[in-house]
Amino acid sequence: MTASKSSRARNARIAAQASSTRASAAKGGTAVKNGGATRNGGATGNGQVRTAAVPNGAVPLPARGARPPVIQDDPPQGGPALWLQLTTFVLALAGLGVSIYLTIAHFTESTLAGCSESGLVNCTKVTTSPQSYVFGIPVAVLGLAFYLFAAAIMSPWAWQAARREIHLLRIASLVVGIGFVLYLVYAELFIIGSICLYCTSVHAITFVLFVLTVIAAATWGLKPGAGWKSRPARQSD
């Protein structure tokens, strides 16, 4: 009888221990299950999991101290519009051609083709006048030197150059050129009293180049072919 009571008591203790073990295991599994949310946040001081909600489509901000990603702006334009580059280059070549012809005619003392020799249009009177020399140098030679330089500085390669000095030199040369043209026009109209068609064509080309160069400087700046700079990427709030 005593042995039977002892056996029942031992079985009761074993059953109680098994029940306690199952309850502890169930509680531990629940805690592990709740801890699976750590992928969206970190643990708080109470051991609970803190989550951070990120709106759909939003870009998370970089961690403090991290360098933001760098992207590039739009590709470089390579200077002003292509039509302006080609137009100025062709005009400079045309001015160079006329200047070469005037220089040859000056030194050979030949008559300019298709130019009148009387009245308001009188090429010979203009090209042989004292005003056809500046500081002892024939105006035709000065025009030739100017347009040799203009043909180089107005080329597409020069327009696309990254050096600021090239673009400053271009506009400075045109300012000097248009000033010289104004003096020559004044000399023809008010001192000589006649005009030369070839000279006038060079004056017109110089004026158009001046206008286009000013427009290019105002629109694209004085360093149009310098490329682009990198900038930090914009982040979503």
pLDDT band at 158 (very low <50, low <70, confident <90, very high): very high
pLDDT given at position 5: 55
In DSSP terms, 49 is beta-bridged to 43
Whether pLDDT at 207 is above 90: yes
Please report where in the chains the tokens 């009148």 appear, as a residue. 116
149 burial via Cβ count (<10 Å: 0-12, 13-18, 19+): middle
Residue 219 has a pLDDT of 87
Residue 232: its H or E element: strand 230-232
Share of the chain above pLDDT 90, in %: 48
pLDDT beyond 70 at 120: yes
pLDDT at 214 exceeding the cut of 90: yes
* Domain spans, the chain: 82-217
pLDDT tens for each residue of 17-29 = 666 666 555 555 4
Q: How far apart are CA 214 and CA 171, in angstroms?
A: 7
Task: Tell me how many helices (H) and strands (E) the chain has.
Answer: 7, 4
Higher pLDDT, 173 or 78: 173
With contact defined as beta carbons under 8 Å apart, do 141 and 196 qualify?
no
Residue holding tokens 């045309």? 94
| Listed residue (141, 121, 145) closest to 133, CA to CA | 141
Q: Which residues of 159-174 are buried (b: 16+ CB within 10 A; e: fewer)?
A: bbbeeeebbeebeebb
pLDDT surpasses 80 at 169: yes
The pLDDT assigned to 117 comes to 77
Average pLDDT of the chain is 77
First to last CA, the chain: 80
Contacts of 211 (CB under 8 A, 6+ apart): none
Q: Which amino acid is at 204?
A: A
Is residue 62 over pLDDT 90?
no
Cα–Cα nearest to 94, from 179, 203, 187: 203
Check: CB of residue 66 under 8 Å from CB of residue 128: no
Query: Which of 14-18, 52-56, 191-195, 227-231 is the most confident on average?
Result: 191-195
Confidence of residue 119 (pLDDT cuts 50, 70, 90): confident
82-217 in CATH: which number? Answer: 1.20.1440.130
Structure tokens at 141: 């030679």
Higher pLDDT, 71 or 174: 174
pLDDT at 38: 41
Q: Report which of residues 70 and 162 the model is more confident about.
A: 162
Task: Give 67's pLDDT tier (boundaries 50, 70, 90).
Answer: low
Q: Is the pLDDT of residue 195 over 70?
A: yes
Tell me how far CA of residue 136 lies from CA of 24, 74, 142, 196, 231, in angstroms: 113, 52, 11, 20, 56
pTM: 0.62
The C-alpha atoms of residue 199 and residue 123 are separated, in whole angstroms, by: 8
Q: What is the pLDDT of residue 118?
A: 77
- Max mean pLDDT range (31-35, 106-110, 149-153): 149-153
Q: Of the ranges 2-6, 34-38, 152-156, which one carries the lowest mean pLDDT score? A: 34-38
Query: How many angstroms separate the CA atoms of 16 and 6, rounded?
Result: 15
